[in-house]
Structure 1
Amino acid sequence: MGIWFVAVVSLCISAIVSSLFNLFKKNLPPGPPSLPLIGNFIWLRRPISELEFILRRLKTRYGPLMTIRIGPRKLIFVGSHSLAHRALIQHGAIFSDRPPPPATSKVLNRPRRVISSAAYGPTWRLLRRNLTQGILHPGRVKSYSSSRQWVLSILVSRLKEAFESESSITPIDHFQYAMYCLLALLCFGDKIHETQIKAIESVHRRLLLGFRRFNVLNFCPLLGKIIFRNRWKELMRLRQEQEKSLIPLIRARIHAKQQSISNNIQENDNQQVLAYVDTLIDLQLPEENRKLEESEFVSLCSEFIAAGTHTTSTALQWIMANLVKYPYIQTKLYDEITGVLRNVQHQTIEEEDLGRMPYLKAVVLEALRRHPPVHFVLPHRVTQDIELDGYVIPGDATVNFMVADMGWDPKVWEDPMEFKPERFLGTEIGEAFDITGRREIKMMPFGAGRRICPGLALALLHLEYFVANLIWNYQWIPVEGDDVDLTEKQALTTVMKNPLRVRISPRNS
């Protein structure tokens, strides 16, 4: 007993001394006082949903570069456009790694085998290049125009049926279903049955809704597996359901591809299109010299579908909410569309027409500035100590970028909390606005630098295409007596506090 006591006390003293040494040896960015091992007491009595509100208050005191300690971890928060550009663009290679995956990620994903969390290195380059040069190549994206038309017809039909059976509709449910249909088609190359779409959607939805519940499992996994064993079992069941919904689709696509090869059928024959699964079949992982395992197919396909559905449908809801809230903006957008088409007999707006609609682009960009899909991009990890704004960012720190704050900075944007698409028109910003942030970061809803969202161009296309056609087909009207609520349910994401409910009136019928 005495030996164990001495050992434990020695380890504790060693950890405290080490923490104190690290605390003072480097000129870290400022932040609230903390204790070794424990970190900042403020986090012990605050829910994670209040994190952003607290950071915003701390930013006024400590500046746009802060250090927050949660237990032994050092988290660096960046809330400045210039600092974000210096980090992600000028020192991109150093800021392009990811923190080690948490315990829950090891259940839901094969660690470091999905693009979003893979370590910066050969495997990440291979997976990202495979996505950008394959399924997201501009020529390939154009080949999916018929898929978007099919999904648009589903969305318009569902909205019509919902409105005919109810006095008002909740569009977010229909937006999400449409995006799942579209991304599943891009992923598996076939029009998936509704029951399969619902199964995929159900798992993803429960994972999103359970994020905070499952996140507690990451703080002390060994102890948590005992204390929260039922929650661990729930997480394991969700992974099994994820595999159950995706593996049959993956196997069917691989079998169909093999049959095509054996029958010497070319991609363009029989109206075949390249699916995301097709691009994964022959990938050879460079660091292990092997092909992907089935569980890795599941993780990559799940990442592909989830990344293109939740963020796009959420952004779509915010756009339509603002167009309902401000009918004069909706009218101006509709007038632009009619001016481009010049023929009310058009049933749909073609993708080729979108390039002649600058106000449409301005509406989408303004929504992404005012309501970015997430308020923080995925955390970065620096690969070595580096100086930023006179402070040292240590190599073991996790770096977070405050996306929403950058889009709401009054030093950059006039009346930043107002919805003004006109700010993206004219010579100062206009069509030349660089949302990638290569020249200068003014907002970064898709991130920036080497880890920028690879689906940026596809997401913008989807938003413009569906917004234009939704406005072309229907007039969107607020429910009588209801004020469109543009407040957010929680700080970390832009989920609406009260889901948008509207009435729609068919146009051009």
Structure 2
Amino acid sequence: MGENLRRCLLSTSTVFNGPSLDSGLNLSGKNPQLKVGPGTAIVITSAAAVKELMDKRSASTADRPPHHMADVVTGGLNMVLARYSNAWRVLRKNAHAMLTPKASLEHLPIQRAEAAQLMYDILQAPEAFYTHVRRYSNSTILSITYGKRCPRYESPEATLFFKAQHLWELVLEPGAHPPLDLLPFLRHLPGAWKRLCKETRHLQRQLYFGLLDECQERLQHGQENGCFMENILQNQELLGFNRELAGYLGGVLIEGGSDTTSSFLQSLILALVEFPEAQRKAQEEMDKVVGDQRLPTLDDFADLPYIQAVVKETHRFRPVAPVAVPHGMLATEEYRGYMIPKGTTIFVNTWGIFHDPDIYDEPEVFNPDRYLLTEHGTKSGVDDSAFRSTLAFGSGRRICPGIHLANNSLMLNTMNLIWAFQFSPAKDPVTGATLPIDIFDYEKGILTAPRPFQCRITPRSEGKAKLIKRAFLDAEDVFVKFESGITTEDKEWVERYRAHVM
């Protein structure tokens, strides 16, 4: 295993007390079996195993392993981590109902408007692109879910979200706390983990239920804007919801929708800087199909095969969840001679699948062209029948319910950024030397993102800069529906920011 691959795997850390995934991957076979305390864990590193076990046999693999600290924080109501239960099924059913392809298109106006502000933000302060992307993704999912946007990175809801999310990441950090699930008696002893859980729970509930109450108040005053939670609140009894389920459904949607989108876009920018030939080809296609007299639209995407390949390659090159959230076995299954007992924890090593040199030519190179040669970017002659385009979004009954909403955002912003800007390495202000970027320097965790890095971003033409400014001004008609509850400070900032556009 190459050093770069080892570094990326280790950056995800391990999610159990036992052999690391790095050493586990060196065991014989594609599905090493590891003993984890009194239980068993397996690591899947093949698309065929994912298809057979996680997708086809999802009735047996839809559980999650126990996570006491997560349950203390959320009461077991975080849809991503919750065990297979009636409450989980209610959450999942309604998330899918709200996030169908048709329903997702209803939220395209706010996605377009926020994407226009992202371009304008980068135009105004390109050095702060990293936080601009975070604001965009957070504001978009807050608007769609709770009907309230964050015009600034410093908006109160964004600040509270990022603070709560940081603590939540600490709660979930593998190996950072006592092994409460392996040794349950430790739960009854004093420990710093209890204070962390208490503070995290307080901040999450302050955000989730504060936004829920604001949504309820808007409904009472006839100020609907079409957000998800309006439907939940108006049909609670019919949908089988109560206040707790509603609050935590909204919370998990903004958790997933914020960090995953921003991670993808940050990785995209990183790849465009480090692989200029891919950027050149993408820009060439955008110029041919879209031109310089208008902004891209979602309808353009079908006519942009290289841009489609860029999106697919970004998912492969830097999957947001390198080692997907583990599954738990609800029943014993046999697979290729292996008995996988009930209660086994299953890790899907997405990174390993997407960086297998037997499957992909030069897997550590960002090369969208691979997807123009074969459907799934695999080597010629490789059996890719087990692959699917949604592999990066999870598997089985636990696949991301927001996949259609996310895809709209990723497609739109990928087109926008490549159409609008030139991405190049930053220069040392004194020597003029190119500043290197470590493309393997990623945050640790179940969800990962590149650590903040420097690059040079410039508009590709003055004409495109003017179109970006006009699009941002035009977005006001959409934004106004999601700004009724923002703070006075945010309102004043919005007025100043828009007043200086032209």
State whether structure 2 residue 311 is matched by structure 1 residue 345. no
Using the TM superposition, give the Cα deviation of residue 464 of structure 1 relative to its aligned residue in structure 2, in angstroms: 1.7
Q: Can you list the C-alpha shifts for 1:122-147, whole angstroms capped at 9, x where unaligned?
A: 5433322212222x122222222220
Deviation of 1:487 (Å): 0.8
1:252-291 → structure 2 map (5 Å cutoff): 252-260=214-222, 272-279=225-232, 281-284=234-237, 291=241
**Does 2:337 align with 1:397?**
no
The CA distance in 2 between the partners of 1:460 and 1:50, in whole Å, is: 29
Q: Which residue of 2 aligns with 1:234?
A: 196
Alignment of 1:297-336 (within 5 A): 297-336=246-285
Structure 1 residues 140, 321: CA separation in 2 closer, same or farther (over 3 Å shift)? same
Offset at residue 196 of structure 1 (A) = 2.1
Distance in structure 2 (CA, Å) of the matches to 1:147 and 1:60:
46
The residue aligned with 1:13 is none
How far 1:58 moved relative to its partner? 3.4
Q: Does 1:425 align with 2:372?
A: yes
Distance of 1:97 and 1:493 partners within structure 2: 17
- Amino acid corresponding to residue 458 of structure 1 in structure 2: L
Report the AA paired with residue 345 of structure 1: Q
Aligned equivalents of 1:496, 1:140: Cα separation in 2:
28
Unaligned runs of 5+ in 1: 1-45, 164-168, 261-269, 431-436
Cα deviation for residue 107 of structure 1 reads: 2.4
* Pair 234,97 (structure 1): closer, same or farther in 2 beyond 3 Å: closer
Q: CA 1:239–1:189 in structure 2 vs 1: closer, same or farther (change >3 Å)?
A: same
> CA offsets per residue over residues 252-310 of structure 1, 9 Å max, x none?
212322444xxxxxxxxx88324235325534599xxx6313x4333222210010111
What SS is found at the alignment partner of 2:42?
strand
2-structure distance, mates of 1:304, 1:114: 10
Is the contact between residue 70 and residue 171 of structure 2 (CA under 8 Å) also seen in structure 1?
no
The match for 2:91 is: 127
What is the rounded CA distance, in whole Å, between the counterparts of 2:46 and 2:386 in structure 1? 15
- What corresponds to 2:52 in structure 1? 86
Task: Give the total of aligned pairs.
Answer: 434
Match of 1:116 among 80, 87, 98: 80
Equivalent residue in structure 2 for 1:508, among 431, 456, 461:
461
For 1:414, give the aligned amino acid. Answer: D
1:180 aligned partner: 138
Counterpart contact for 2:216–2:233, Cα < 8 Å:
no
Q: Is the 8 A contact 2:263 2:448 kept in 1?
A: yes
Task: Please tell me the residue identity of whatever aligns with 2:69.
Answer: T
TM-score w.r.t. the length of structure 1 is 0.77
Aligned-partner Cα distance in 2 for 1:423–1:473: 25
| Cα deviation 1:314-340 (Å, max 9, x = unaligned) | 111111111111112112111111111
- Normalising by structure 2, we get a TM-score of 0.78
Whole-angstrom distance in 2 between the partners of 1:354 and 1:328: 20
Q: CA distance change for structure 1 residues 232 and 48 in 2, over 3 Å: closer, same or farther?
A: farther
Q: Which residue of 1 aligns with 2:486?
A: none
Residue 325 of structure 2 contacts residue 446 of structure 2 at CA under 8 Å; is this kept in 1? no
**Which stretch of structure 1 is more off in the superposition, 120-129 or 196-205?**
120-129
Q: Separation in 2 of the partners of 1:170 and 1:494?
A: 22
Question: Do structure 1's residue 460 and structure 2's residue 421 form an aligned pair?
Answer: no
How big is the alpha-carbon RMSD for the aligned residues of Structure 1 and Structure 2? 2.9
1:110–1:296 contact (8 Å) kept in structure 2: no
The structure with the larger Rg is: 1
Alignment check: 8 A CA contact 1:217 1:225 kept: no
Sort the Cα spacing of 1:170 and 1:500 in 2 relative to 1 into closer, same or farther, 3 A.
Answer: farther
User: CA offset at residue 473 of structure 1?
Assistant: 1.9
Give, as a single letter, the amino acid of the residue that structure 2 aligns with 1:318.
S
Report SS of the residue matched to 2:58: coil
Equivalent position SS for 1:245: helix
Question: Which stretches in structure 2 are left out of the alignment for 5+ residues?
Answer: 1-9, 378-383, 428-433, 463-502
Residue in 1 that maps onto 2:38: 72
Residue 177 of structure 2, aligned match among 207, 211, 216: 216
Does 1 or 2 have the higher relative contact order (CA < 8 Å, sep 6+)? 2
Instruction: Return the offset for 1:57.
Output: 3.5
Q: What CA distance in whole angstroms lies between the structure 2 residues aligned with 1:185 and 1:442?
A: 27
> How many Å apart are 1:498 and its aligned residue?
4.6
- In structure 1, give the amino acid aligned to 2:217: H
**What percent of counterpart residues are identical?**
24
Local SS of the residue matching 1:68 = strand
Q: Distance in 2 between matches of 1:283 and 1:110?
A: 19
